[in-house]
Chain A
């Protein structure tokens, strides 16, 4: 069986890593943390 390095996963990983860094630079993790720290009553079917 031939062995050949698959490039697609690395391209995808590079793209998402770039997007991830863009998200961090926009300060989105802080917003995500704020949301995740509090109970989302709407999300659990209350409210």
Chain B
């Protein structure tokens, strides 16, 4: 199953970064597909990006909300927020585990053999702060004399944007090199920190910083498709604790906002068929791994 997941992740990377004409055009994709919301965190300024980044677009709409209202438009982020909501209500954080390019990058980095560390649980709350403060409050409230704010998360933090757009664009458009300054170096430092952290810990950005992951986490318990626990079948053997890449105790907190629904616990750990995919209240399929009752009791 994990091989299939890796393949699905790779397919998503190429689907939302499918414009490979940028070395010839010297510019990013400008076609109509960019009206579609990228399910995972993927900068729309990436030269290969074919979709828009919901976090980037939401900030852009919020930072100019006064200006658009003054000019008689009502661009207040409803389309972007609704697109994110439709994805979140359908899949929850399945998107993080199966369709996010930056999640895949972190997983590949974690494969580098070194001593591994856990991420302190308290840091998990920071991603909600990033969503609330850097994506919503600051772009909306801190404005200049023209009533325009800044895309605070993209501008000062987003390492995905630096990796997918900042670095490639500087190579692609030589004129941009002259404009590199403190802001760029700050973002390179953040990206370097996240890369090193990803080698040492599993998916640290997703767990502590990602505002999109925080948004999808709000839906994890109620999404149409979710990973669920059959409490009657669970023997509390704790095998699911050992394989979880985000260090949650699935049998104790099914539907946790931290779960990225990678299904590793379901396919690689649980021998009792206690973890399953729940679609609107119905069990999708059995894994066929269930042991007989006598074996469970032993």
Which residues of A does B touch, CB under 8 Å?
1, 3-6, 8-10, 12-13, 15-20, 22-24, 26-29, 31-33, 35-37, 39-47
A15: which B residues are within 8 A, CB to CB?
85
Q: Given A6-B280, A19-B85, A45-B161, does the pair A28, B79 have CB atoms closer than 8 Å?
A: yes
Q: Please pick, from A20, A28, A32, the residue contacting B86 in the complex, using a CB distance under 8 A.
A: A20
Query: Most chain-A Cβ atoms within 10 A of its Cβ — which of B44, B82, B224?
Result: B82
* A-contacting 9-mer, from B28-36, B118-126, B240-248: B28-36
CB distance from B222 to the nearest CB of A (A): 4
CB distance from A9 to the nearest CB of B (A): 4
B264: which A residues are within 8 A, CB to CB?
none
CB distance from B148 to the nearest CB of A (A): 11
Q: Name the residue of chain B whose CB is nearest to the CB of A24.
A: B79
- CA–CA, A35 to B55, complex, Å? 13
Chain B positions 34-77 with a Cβ under 8 Å from a chain A Cβ: 34-35, 43-45, 49, 51-53, 56-57, 60-61, 68, 73-77
Cβ–Cβ contact A26 & B169, under 8 A? no
Residue B89 interfacial (CB < 8 Å) = yes
A32: which B residues are within 8 A, CB to CB?
34-35, 52, 57, 61, 79-80
- CA–CA, A6 to B89, complex, Å? 12
B188: which A residues are within 8 A, CB to CB?
45
Cβ–Cβ contact B280 & A43, under 8 A? no
- CA–CA, A26 to B282, complex, Å? 37
**B-side interface residues, number (CB < 8 Å):** 65
- CA–CA, A37 to B29, complex, Å? 7
Q: Please pick, from A3, A5, A18, A20, the residue contacting B83 in the complex, using a CB distance under 8 A.
A: A20
Residue B127 interfacial (CB < 8 Å) = no
Cβ–Cβ contact A47 & B78, under 8 A? no
A41: which B residues are within 8 A, CB to CB?
176, 179
Cβ–Cβ contact B32 & A40, under 8 A? no
Q: Name the residue of chain A whose CB is nearest to the CB of B56.
A: A43
CB distance from B54 to the nearest CB of A (A): 10
A4: which B residues are within 8 A, CB to CB?
281
Cβ–Cβ contact A28 & B61, under 8 A? yes
A13: which B residues are within 8 A, CB to CB?
86, 89-90, 224
- CA–CA, A28 to B52, complex, Å? 13
Residue B285 interfacial (CB < 8 Å) = no
Residue B106 interfacial (CB < 8 Å) = no
CB distance from B33 to the nearest CB of A (A): 9
- CA–CA, A17 to B81, complex, Å? 11
Q: Given A44-B165, A44-B169, does the pair A39, B90 have CB atoms closer than 8 Å?
A: no
Cβ–Cβ contact B79 & A29, under 8 A? yes
CB distance from B171 to the nearest CB of A (A): 12
Cβ–Cβ contact B161 & A43, under 8 A? yes
Cβ–Cβ contact B151 & A42, under 8 A? yes
Q: Given A23-B82, A44-B166, A46-B183, does the pair A9, B89 have CB atoms closer than 8 Å?
A: yes
- CA–CA, A16 to B89, complex, Å? 8
Cβ–Cβ contact B187 & A19, under 8 A? no
